[in-house]
C-alpha cells in the first residue's frame, strides 16, 4: 500500500484513500496509521452514545455512525481504527474519515481546524469560513478558475505554534461542489465521484491547482449567506463579536469543546485574532457574481 500525505503527515493506511496524493517526503516513520477493525454486522455497538464522540478514561476517542462505521482514535492521535458494516473504503466511510475524524486528529494534535476553504493569494493563505451551504467551495472554485491555487476545502487546518505566526497546512486536494455550482461555472459532473450516493454533490480534484506546502495565514473571512436583494457587506470583525463568530466557525466546534474544554477553544481563537485580521463577508445566494467577488477579494490582498 502506498503511504499518503495530508497536512504534512505521513499516513500509512490499510484502505485505499484516492483523495490523497502519495507520500513524497522523507523516510520517517508514519505519523498516522489507519487500520481496519471489525467488519460486518458485529462492527457497531448496540447502544447509542450520549455524545457524538465518546472520550474514554485512557484518552481514546470513539466516533460512531450507527448505519455506517465506528472510528477509534488513540490518545496520541497516531492510529485510527475503522470498523464498518460494509466496505471500510467505501465513499461514505471515507467521507466521515476526512470530516469528523479529521477534526478529532487536529484537536488532539494541537491544531485548529476551521470550517473553511483557503486560497493562496500572493504567498499567503486567505481562509473563507462559514457553515455548510454558505458558498465556501463555490468561491474557492472561482479563485481556482482565476489562477489562484487552493490549500484546502471545507477544513482548513491552522498551526498556531509556528514562530512566525499562524500557518495553514495543505489539506485534501479536492473541492466538494453541488451540481448547480458546477453547472454555473460551466463544469461537467462527468467522471466525478459523488460525495455520498444520495447527494448531487461531487468531488472535484484540484489537480495542478493545489498548493502543496504550508503558507502563513493572511486573513480569515467569516461568511454569511444573505438574500440576493442585499448588497455584499465586507467589514472587519473585532472584539467579542469576532471571537464568537470565529468560535462558531471552528470545524466541529462542539467536539472540540468536548475534547479540549471551552477555555482551550477560546484561547486558540484569541491566539489567532492577535495575529490575523478577521472580516465578516456577506455572500449572495445567487451564483452569477461569484467570480466577480473572487476578483475583488484577490485584488484586495494583492495590494495589502
The grid coordinates listed for 264 are: 482551550
Query: What are 87-124's pLDDT values in tens digits?
Result: 999 989 999 999 999 999 999 999 999 999 999 999 99
Q: Beta-carbon neighbour count of residue 243 at 10 Å?
A: 17
| DSSP codes, 155-211 | EEEEETT-TTS-EEEP--SEEEEEHHHHHHTT---TTPPBSSTTSSEEEEE-GGGB-
- Torsion sign over Cα 180, 193, 85, 78: negative
Query: What are 199-239's pLDDT values in tens digits?
Result: 899 888 887 778 889 999 999 999 987 766 566 778 999 88
What is residue 88's predicted lDDT score, i.e. its pLDDT? 93
What is residue 42's predicted lDDT score, i.e. its pLDDT? 82
Q: Which segments of the chain have a pLDDT < 50?
A: none
Q: What is the pTM of this model?
A: 0.92
What is residue 270's predicted lDDT score, i.e. its pLDDT? 93
What is residue 45's predicted lDDT score, i.e. its pLDDT? 81
Amino acid at each position: 500500500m502506498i503511504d499518503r500525505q495530508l497536512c504534512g503527515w505521513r499516513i500509512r493506511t490499510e484502505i485505499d484513500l484516492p483523495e490523497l496524493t502519495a507520500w513524497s517526503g522523507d523516510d520517517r516513520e508514519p505519523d498516522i496509521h489507519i487500520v481496519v477493525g471489525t467488519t460486518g454486522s458485529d462492527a457497531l455497538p448496540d447502544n447509542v452514545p450520549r455524545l457524538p464522540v465518546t472520550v474514554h478514561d485512557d484518552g481514546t476517542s470513539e466516533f460512531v455512525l450507527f448505519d455506517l462505521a465506528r472510528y477509534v482514535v488513540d490518545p496520541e492521535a497516531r492510529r485510527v481504527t475503522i470498523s464498518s458494516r460494509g466496505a471500510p473504503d467505501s465513499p461514505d466511510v471515507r467521507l466521515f474519515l476526512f470530516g469528523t475524524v479529521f477534526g478529532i486528529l487536529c484537536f488532539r494534535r494541537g491544531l485548529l481546524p476551521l470550517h473553511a476553504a483557503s486560497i493562496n493569494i500572493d504567498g499567503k493563505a486567505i481562509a473563507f469560513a462559514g457553515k455548510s451551504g454558505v458558498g465556501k467551495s463555490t468561491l474557492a472554485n472561482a479563485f481556482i478558475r482565476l489562477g489562484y491555487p487552493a490549500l484546502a476545502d471545507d477544513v482548513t487546518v491552522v498551526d498556531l505554534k509556528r514562530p512566525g505566526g499562524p500557518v495553514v497546512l495543505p489539506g485534501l486536494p479536492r473541492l466538494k461542489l453541488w451540481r448547480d455550482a458546477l453547472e454555473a461555472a460551466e463544469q461537467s459532473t462527468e467522471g466525478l465521484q459523488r460525495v455520498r450516493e444520495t447527494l448531487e454533490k461531487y468531488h472535484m480534484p484540484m489537480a495542478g491547482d493545489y498548493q502543496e506546502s504550508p503558507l502563513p495565514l493572511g486573513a480569515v473571512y467569516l461568511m454569511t449567506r444573505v438574500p440576493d436583494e442585499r448588497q455584499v457587506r465586507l467589514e472587519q470583525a473585532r472584539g467579542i463579536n469576532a471571537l464568537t463568530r470565529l468560535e462558531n466557525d471552528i470545524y466541529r466546534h462542539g467536539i472540540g469543546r468536548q475534547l479540549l474544554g471551552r477555555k482551550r477553544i477560546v484561547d486558540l481563537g484569541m491566539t489567532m485574532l492577535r495575529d490575523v485580521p478577521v472580516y465578516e463577508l456577506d455572500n449572495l445566494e445567487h451564483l452569477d457574481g461569484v467570480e466577480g467577488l473572487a476578483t475583488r477579494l484577490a485584488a484586495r490582498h494583492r495590494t495589502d
